[in-house]
Amino acid sequence: MEQKGFTDKIKWLTKPLNGYCVECLYLICAMLIVRIAETIALFATNYNAELIGNNLIGFTVDIANIGWIVAVLYIIYTLISLLSQKAANITVRFIFGFYLCLSMLLTGYFATTHIPLDGIITAYSPKELLVTIKANNPFNIPIIIGIIIISVAFAAIPRKKFRIPTWLQIIIIALLAGCIFFPGLKKEKFRYDKEYYIIESKTIYLFNSLSKNESIIQFTDNELKEKAEEFASYFPEYEFVNYHYPFLHKDKTPDILSDYLEKNDERPNIVIIIVEGLCNYISGKNSTVTSATPFLDSLSEHALVWENCLSTSERTFGVLPSVLGALPFGEKGFLSYRRDVPNHKTLASILHDNGYKNTFFYGGWYGFDGMDIFAENNFMEMYYDSPEYEQITEKSKWGLRDEYMLLHSLNAVNNTQGSPRLDIYLTLSSHDPFDYPDKERYTNLYNKLQSAQPNKPIVKKYISNYASFLYTDDCLRKFFIEYKNSKSYHNTIFIITGDHKFIASDNIFLETDNKTTIENFRVPLIIWSPMLESGQNFPAITTHRDIAPTLLAYIKNNYEAQLPENESWLNYGLDTSKRFEAKTFSPHYNANRDLNGITYKQYYITVDGIFTFDTTENKLSIKPITNDSRLENFPKLYKQLENYIMNNNALIKIR
């Protein structure tokens, strides 16, 4: 009997190799087409980086990153082919098709937002994702359907049969399988985030992010005491009361507003207006481009204005917890915990306990980002959360337009009898896709304003997006005119701020280097009231987290309100110093909900180093200093205690 040679013995393994190599080559060609499409899309949306060279490098990274898929699938492919070659081909094609579909969807997301999708997706419910997709671009859903059809077609179309030499087959599979040992890219190795975002595989970026979900931190009692005492050493000005509640301290917030407001016998009404995307880039006398808020600019001349106010996040998810309660962030934002939040107190809940009627005016879906649950927890009526408002025609993809939302709210204001009010407004019309009425008129007006200020950079693209602020500003002007007819007008304090930076479609100004600039968190903060005796500008650093302590200190000092003796916010209130300084505290989070840095007194502390605040030509900046090991340790210590607090109901003690 003839003895079988080695090649015959492994024929069952090598026989399907040709078909598998063909499938791999089809996938590689498809991935190249996706990279070409990404290059074109980024070029069309003015992505400011080297596109062709980086995407070519990115294509090689894509191939390297599929090594583990190729290795595992070849074993599966071979085993299935022993039973049926056709079944093996179909299995691999649909797995490759799914991978291609995911790659195209993630590339489309990146081309739209200029930031790869990451673990932030887990912070949203399916309905929230659908609302976002439909609202941001009316073509999103057809595009997604088209991508799915293309992926199915990729898996289903017959392959052209051709024979690859055996030696070349082995080399192809060996090279692809060898990519298992590819260590992956390290973001910190890149000088610019933009380069890393282009080159990295968007699919691998998402998988890596999902695998880094924060684990719950637990301490022994001694460990917790040591951590809490170490943390307290960073804040010697506070009297911490219980290490089991590491942030809890006696509230000694000074009353700074009494120096500027006339006192009335009645408790004041408070109106907080949070404008979508309003930031110093496009608003104020020192705006980067021509200001699109002439009414707010004129109001600022007679108001208390903090020129260097910082938001806590680059998206809306941080604004309500920060402005109303200086609350901790946790893993993906305080709101993302829904009902699993620790016991907490906010401006709204404390005023409710003191007889205030709280109303939250928002023209969109209250359930987005868990705002409805937050409102319920803090006794805030959701005024537009009613089926009757779903029939209103004055709305955009996100919800009610600003004019209707603002002016219609006055019906509730005027119908209130006896009780003082806390009203919170969150606008929508300056949000992508920038759907607002009279767009051409406001766009032409913004062009005229630009012509009158030739010393400022001229906006040439997406001008109508910038002009959306003129529309919202005009709505605010009408709102204030109508509010004057309210009986409570003379006794009302208005606070106006932005929730985060302006998300323009060109995205040019959003990042300049590997560290998100502090200017990205800079938003206007205006306090105006008929009770205000005179206007004043304050150059000191302040944050959204300082607003609630300041308002409560004023009400406590003037109207004998019953406030908690102890508080968990690590803020002393708004700084009215006449010189530039920084004495406040605030964490700041990127759009992907990663910690960008922490404002700690005069320092801005990031993973990349320690900086001090500086202001030159009315632009806020940070300058690096020699690293200090104690300061370097602070963000890690803060996040550890914040994690513990959020997962162990250890923010405040409820008797």
pTM across the whole model: 0.86
Decide: 436 and 471 in contact? Cβ < 8 Å.
Answer: yes
Decide: 621 and 642 in contact? Cβ < 8 Å.
Answer: no
Q: Tens digit of pLDDT for each residue in 434-444?
A: 999 999 999 99
Structural element, H or E, at residue 126: helix 126-136
Structural element, H or E, at residue 530: none
The angle at the Cα of 650, spanning 644 to 655, to the nearest 5 degrees, equals: 170
Residues near 245 by beta carbon (within 8 Å), at least 6 away in sequence: 568, 645, 650, 651, 652, 653
Domain 233-428+471-500+526-647 has CATH 3.40.50.11890: no
Closest listed residue to residue 367, CA positions, set 399, 322, 396: 399
CA distance 87 to 417: 74
Instruction: Kindly write down the DSSP assignment for every residue of 21-37, as one continuous string.
Output: HHHHHHHHHHHHHHHHH
CA distance 357 to 378: 11
CA distance 334 to 166: 58
Residues near 295 by beta carbon (within 8 Å), at least 6 away in sequence: 473, 474, 476, 477, 480
Mean pLDDT of 360-364: 96
Mean pLDDT of 238-250: 96
Sign of CA dihedral 325, 115, 618, 425: negative
In this prediction, residue 511 carries a pLDDT of 43
Q: 3-state secondary structure string, 129-190?
A: HHHHHHHHCCCHHHHHHHHHHHHHHHHHCCCCCCCCCHHHHHHHHHHHHHHHHCCCCCHHHC
Domain assignments of the chain as residue spans, ordered by start: 6-210, 233-428+471-500+526-647
CA distance 434 to 442: 12
Decide: 154 and 30 in contact? Cβ < 8 Å.
Answer: yes
Q: Tens digit of pLDDT for each residue in 458-481?
A: 988 889 999 999 999 999 999 999
Structural element, H or E, at residue 293: none
In this prediction, residue 493 carries a pLDDT of 98
The proportion of the chain whose per-residue pLDDT surpasses 90, expressed as a percent, equals 53
Q: Tens digit of pLDDT for each residue in 597-609?
A: 999 999 999 877 8
Q: Which of 25-29, 321-325, 445-449, 486-490 has the lowest mean pLDDT?
A: 25-29
The answer, yes or no, to whether residue 286 has pLDDT greater than 50, is yes
In this prediction, residue 1 carries a pLDDT of 43
The two tokens of residue 218 are 């637990």
Instruction: Kindly write down the DSSP assignment for every residue of 406-432, as one continuous string.
Output: HHHTHHHHHH--SS-EEEEEE--TTST
Decide: 532 and 260 in contact? Cβ < 8 Å.
Answer: yes
In this prediction, residue 180 carries a pLDDT of 72
In this prediction, residue 214 carries a pLDDT of 61
In this prediction, residue 110 carries a pLDDT of 85
pLDDT interval class at 153 (50, 70, 90)? confident
In this prediction, residue 197 carries a pLDDT of 87
pLDDT interval class at 510 (50, 70, 90)? very low
- Mean pLDDT (the chain) is 87
Q: Tens digit of pLDDT for each residue in 104-143?
A: 988 888 887 777 888 777 777 777 666 666 665 555 667 7
